[in-house]
Chains A and B, each alone.
Chain A
Amino acid sequence: MQNQAQSNSVSVQEIKPLDKVLQQIAEHKGCGTSSGGAKASCGSSSGQGDMAPEVWEKVKNHPCYSEEAHHHYARMHVAVAPACNIQCNYCNRKYDCANESRPGVVSEKLTPEQASRKVLAVASTIPQMTVLGIAGPGDPLANPAKTFKTFELIYKAAPDIKLCLSTNGLALPDHIEAIKSFNVDHVTITINMVDPEVGQHIYPWIFWNHKRITGIEASRILTERQMQGLEMLTEAGILCKVNSVMIPGINDHHLVEVNRAVKSRGAFLHNIMPLISAPEHGTVFGLSGQRGPSAQELKALQDSCEGEMNMMRHCRQCRADAVGLLGEDRSSEFSTEKVMEMDIQYDAEGRAAYQEKVEQERLATAAAKEAELANLVEEFSDLKILVAVATKGHGRINEHFGHAQEFQIYELSTEGSKFVGHRRVDLYCQGGYGEEDTLPTVIRAINDCVAVFVAKIGGCPKDELRAAGIDPVDKYAHEFIEQSAVRYFKEYLGKVKSGEVVHLARGDADLRQGAYIAA
């Protein structure tokens, strides 16, 4: 199978310099054709996929980059550097950056010393925490002193924590050496255009060489610097992911071109995120009524880029930065006050042991999926369905329908299951009481799904889901997600064949607009 072929073609003895490897990934077109029913799905969404072993080694535990790891590991963000050097129409600087952080929730601003203490405190308590990111609000590289001081402190105290950085790229070419020297191995650049004509509708101005530059010129400089920065990172052997915000009518079609441009310069992942826009955010787009994409529009664009390179679909626009794993936000335990008083024992060994255990768990999940996939080999059908899953992590269906703050969406076909995204929903059930009005919101958010897998669900929501044509499934409670999904799909196919179910195309779904407010 594909995994096999890939790992054989790059033997362990001849470790290639990373830029070659990156080049190779960049040149690799799509996922090839399926050989039999059990094709591994593309890119990062299911294990190693078509990544080179060296790159896979670097990203496999990264909850931002490896969808599989996303179930088991966590990352955190610290805000040390709120200054920014460009203005984006989807951002209102009175709030956090809409791109890399949670809009509407202003992050606590920390000094580098406070930030590193906080990171160590969290890492000592939550061994799954393997990644520290410095991202929004603002641009970390518009504040290089604070950003790199924080990295330095953490790098010295806890070298096992991966450091990552998100930037708009304007200042990136000036900081490649520093990024290398603190062993930062993941950089994310937000690239929304490669054509200044498009850019002028996204970026009103940049601050560059002591001047405010507006109009097309601003975007011309920005795109030049972004491309240069990306090339320099690739050359330096630093993994680089590209984020793009999909803005319907402005850059939606253009993002295919962006995808090509970043792929050819060595970006290993491209993450296309929906614009989140509402008047109450006070952003230019929010006020002008610029809408975000629907779930179908987003997926169609992601699909059209997928043949070109690894796409990332599990980005929850930084829900992953909540302290703790999926859903359980523990930030209140780690307020600056509490952290400064804490007696922190950084337990590197304990963390390693825990992560070893997680590794086992992950292998078990993958094995269960493989085993189930074998049962699908005989099946041939063009049918594709989406299912929504309520999960707290660990790759299992282990969340109550009413407690789910988000659903994971899987696409099922005879080729297996493929993770295709997240849907955030308002808390449907607070304190055990279902709230009448929120159920329709939840249904709209997963309206394109045939079924929803939950650990538990009440009678009323069950009936309403059925009425909306969504099958509420609780019989796989606490089982592995993908194994159950494949099993469900096989059953579904059987029922369609026997005429017990009539397969109807589902409608579109809402992407939740508005801020995710941490509890």
Chain B
Amino acid sequence: MAYKIISSQCTACSACEPECPNVAIREQDGTFVINEKKCSECIGHFDDPQCVAVCPVENTCVIDTQYPRYLDLAAA
């Protein structure tokens, strides 16, 4: 139920931080990280995950497969 940031790709530009509707993103050790407990994949807020849409480096904000998709949870 969450996105994650591939830290080796992150330029720490901070663009994603203010866009997250759940305030799930913060700076940590020079890159940005997503708190998977807070991330709702933007469902209910926006059509697209905001961090993905704004991030200038492709494939940096990606779905974290460790967690079940938010939608699946909602359906369950």
Interface residues of A (CB under 8 A from B): 81-85, 87, 93-94, 109, 137-138, 142-143, 145, 207, 210-212
12 more contacts with CB within 8 A, not counting A84-B15, A143-B14, are: A82-B14, A82-B15, A83-B14, A83-B17, A83-B54, A84-B56, A85-B15, A94-B11, A210-B19, A211-B46, A211-B47, A212-B54
Q: A93-B57, A94-B57 are in contact. Are A83 and B48 (CB under 8 A)?
A: no
- What's the nearest-Cβ distance from chain B to residue A222, in Å? 15
Can you list 8 residue pairs at the A/B interface with Cβ under 8 Å?
Answer: A83-B14, A83-B18, A85-B15, A87-B56, A138-B13, A207-B53, A210-B53, A212-B53
CA distance A211 to B46 in the complex (A): 8
Q: Does B40 contact A (CB under 8 A)?
A: no
CA distance A211 to B50 in the complex (A): 7
Q: Which residues of A contact B50 (CB under 8 A)?
A: 210
CA distance A212 to B49 in the complex (A): 10
Contact B53–A83 (Cβ < 8 Å)? no
- Chain B, 10-43, CB within 8 A of any chain A CB: 11-15, 17-19
Contact A211–B15 (Cβ < 8 Å)? no
Number of residue pairs spanning A and B whose beta carbons lie under 8 angstroms apart: 49
Contact B13–A83 (Cβ < 8 Å)? yes
Q: Which residues of A contact B48 (CB under 8 A)?
A: 210-212
Contact A210–B46 (Cβ < 8 Å)? yes
Contact A93–B53 (Cβ < 8 Å)? no
Judged by DSSP, the binding face of A is: loop
Q: For chain B, give the interface size range.
A: 10 to 19
- What's the nearest-Cβ distance from chain A to residue B15, in Å? 4
- What's the nearest-Cβ distance from chain B to residue A287, in Å? 14
| A-contact 0/1 string along B42-76, CB 8 Å cutoff | 00001110101110110000000000000000000
Q: Which residues of B contact A145 (CB under 8 A)?
A: 18
Residue of A nearest to B17 (CB): A83
CA distance A94 to B52 in the complex (A): 17
Contact B15–A83 (Cβ < 8 Å)? yes
- What's the nearest-Cβ distance from chain B to residue A73, in Å? 31
Contact B54–A93 (Cβ < 8 Å)? no
- What's the nearest-Cβ distance from chain B to residue A214, in Å? 11
Interface residues of B (CB under 8 A from A): 11-15, 17-19, 46-48, 50, 52-54, 56-57
Q: Which residues of A contact B52 (CB under 8 A)?
A: 212
Q: Which residues of B contact A85 (CB under 8 A)?
A: 15, 54
Q: Which residues of A contact B15 (CB under 8 A)?
A: 82-85, 138, 142, 207
Q: Which residues of B contact A142 (CB under 8 A)?
A: 15
CA distance A85 to B18 in the complex (A): 12
Q: Which residues of B contact A143 (CB under 8 A)?
A: 14, 18
Residue of A nearest to B53 (CB): A212
CA distance A365 to B30 in the complex (A): 49
Residue of A nearest to B50 (CB): A210
Q: Which residues of B contact A211 (CB under 8 A)?
A: 46-48, 53
Q: Which residues of A contact B53 (CB under 8 A)?
A: 207, 210-212
Residue of B nearest to A82 (CB): B13
Contact A84–B13 (Cβ < 8 Å)? yes
Q: A210-B46, A211-B47 are in contact. Are A93 and B56 (CB under 8 A)?
A: yes
CA distance A109 to B31 in the complex (A): 13
- What's the nearest-Cβ distance from chain B to residue A213, in Å? 9
CA distance A143 to B17 in the complex (A): 10
Across chains A and B, which 5 residue pairs bring their CB atoms closest together, nearest first? A83-B15, A93-B56, A212-B53, A82-B13, A207-B54
- What's the nearest-Cβ distance from chain B to residue A68, in Å? 37
Residue of A nearest to B14 (CB): A83
CA distance A316 to B50 in the complex (A): 36
Q: Which residues of B contact A212 (CB under 8 A)?
A: 48, 52-54
Q: Which residues of B contact A109 (CB under 8 A)?
A: 12
Contact B46–A93 (Cβ < 8 Å)? no
CA distance A85 to B53 in the complex (A): 10
Q: Which residues of A contact B13 (CB under 8 A)?
A: 82-84, 93, 137-138
Q: Which residues of A contact B57 (CB under 8 A)?
A: 93-94
Residue of B nearest to A146 (CB): B14
Residue of B nearest to A138 (CB): B13
Q: Which residues of A contact B17 (CB under 8 A)?
A: 83
Residue of B nearest to A83 (CB): B15
CA distance A87 to B54 in the complex (A): 9
Residue of A nearest to B9 (CB): A94
CA distance A137 to B56 in the complex (A): 12
CA distance A353 to B54 in the complex (A): 47
CA distance A109 to B14 in the complex (A): 11
Contact A93–B11 (Cβ < 8 Å)? yes
- What's the nearest-Cβ distance from chain A to residue B17, in Å? 8
CA distance A51 to B50 in the complex (A): 45
Residue of B nearest to A106 (CB): B11
Residue of B nearest to A95 (CB): B11
CA distance A145 to B19 in the complex (A): 13
- What's the nearest-Cβ distance from chain A to residue B5, in Å? 14
